[in-house]
Amino acid sequence: MDPIAEKYTNNDPLLKDYIQKLIDNVQFEKTRSENHLAKNRQLKAKVNQLENEIKALKLKKERLEEVNDKLQRDMTLIHISQKSNAINLNTQAISNGSVTVSDDPATHNTGNTGNTGNTGNNGDDDDSNCIIVKGLHKNALASSLPGIILDMGRAMKLKLTKDDLKRVTIMKRKFYERHNLETDTMILIVQFHKLDMKVDFLKHKEKCKKHPAYTSVNVEDYVSENTYNLCQYAKILKTYGYAAVYWRNNCVYAKKTNSTDCKEIPIHSRSQVDALKFSI
């Protein structure tokens, strides 16, 4: 017993016994509280450990998902390449069209006269119906080229058939070397029979990136070398008061104002540009 308590309870055994019980109860509660605190510390340590393990598992899950995505892409490319052991890079025929190989984007148009003053958008070989598909791995080209475009169309949920395709052109290795492009990927120029299908293909191109085989593939509007050069030349019209000079669907246009009511002026040659300088 506490010495002070013992001093005042020597003459009263009952009080002494009562105080001793109180002291024992306090000691018991103290011990129990210490045990609870110790258990709480242990539980907190276990919770922290579990949280760290959960974080580690999440990281492993993310890494496994990345590996799985890569495996799916590789398997898709292997599946595509196994459809055909080789590809004739000189020419492939498709119904209502053709597949060719070109050393330069402008040369895929057989109606091209070589005159840089014209856009070359006449007749059946209308470049305005063309798009460019960049970033296709060369392994994918072991498959049918029209089949690749049709597969991309399915990924975009388009009602695209072989009859919608007129020509698919592959850029030759010399083109990549000349422009310092990666040689393990290839560029396709795709010509549609109708402009509407080309517009739909461009409109839904982002959907294609959700397909594991086409995550790195980019689809762009096509512009021939002649159209590009003509557009660059036509930009001089801005110094003569024209509000805009631009190209769309492989055609060059100018506008006198930015108003929506202002009509576009189609530009077909450099001589037309020279005439437009003083017509504003």
Taking the whole predicted model, whether its pTM rises above 0.75 is answered as no
Query: HEC string of the chain?
Result: CCHHHHHHHCCCHHHHHHHHHHHHHHHHHHHHHHHHHHHHHHHHHHHHHHHHHHHHHHHHHHHHHHHHHHHHHHHHHHHHHHCCCCCCCCEEEECCEEEEEECCHHHHCCCCCCCCCCCCCCCCCCHHHEEEEEEEEHHHHHCCHHHHHHHHHHHCCCCCCHHHEEEEEEECHHHHHHCCCCCCEEEEEEEECCHHHHHHHHHCHHHHCCCCCCCCCEEEECCCHHHHHHHHHHHHHHHHCCCEEEEECCEEEEECCCCCCCCCEEECCHHHHHHHCCCC
Domains by residue range for the chain, with CATH = 130-222 (3.30.70), 226-277 (no CATH)
Q: What is the pLDDT of residues 46-65, one digit of tens each?
A: 889 999 999 999 989 888 88
Task: Give the whole-angstrom CA distance, residue 203 versus residue 187.
Answer: 19
- What is the pLDDT, as a whole number, of residue 117? 40
| Banded model confidence at residue 162, pLDDT cuts 50, 70, 90 | very high
Q: Look at residue 5 and tell me whether its pLDDT is greater than 90.
A: no
Q: 88-97, 118-127, 130-139, 176-185 — which is least confidently predicted?
A: 88-97
Question: At a CB cut-off of 8 Å and minimum separation 6, what does 153 contact?
Answer: 159, 160, 201
Alpha carbon distances (Å) from 81 to 102, 137, 153: 22, 11, 19
Cβ distance 152 to 192 under 8 Å? no
Range among 18-27, 34-43, 80-89, 169-178 rated most confident: 34-43
Q: Could you tell me which residues come within 8 angstroms of residue 151 by beta carbon, excluding any fewer than 6 positions away?
A: 211, 213
pLDDT of the residue at 155: 92
CA distance 113 to 268: 13
Q: What is the pLDDT of residues 202-243, one digit of tens each?
A: 999 999 888 888 888 999 888 888 888 999 999 999 999 999
Across the chain, mean pLDDT equals 77
pLDDT average, residue stretch 73-99: 45
Query: Tell me, what's the pLDDT at 183?
Result: 63
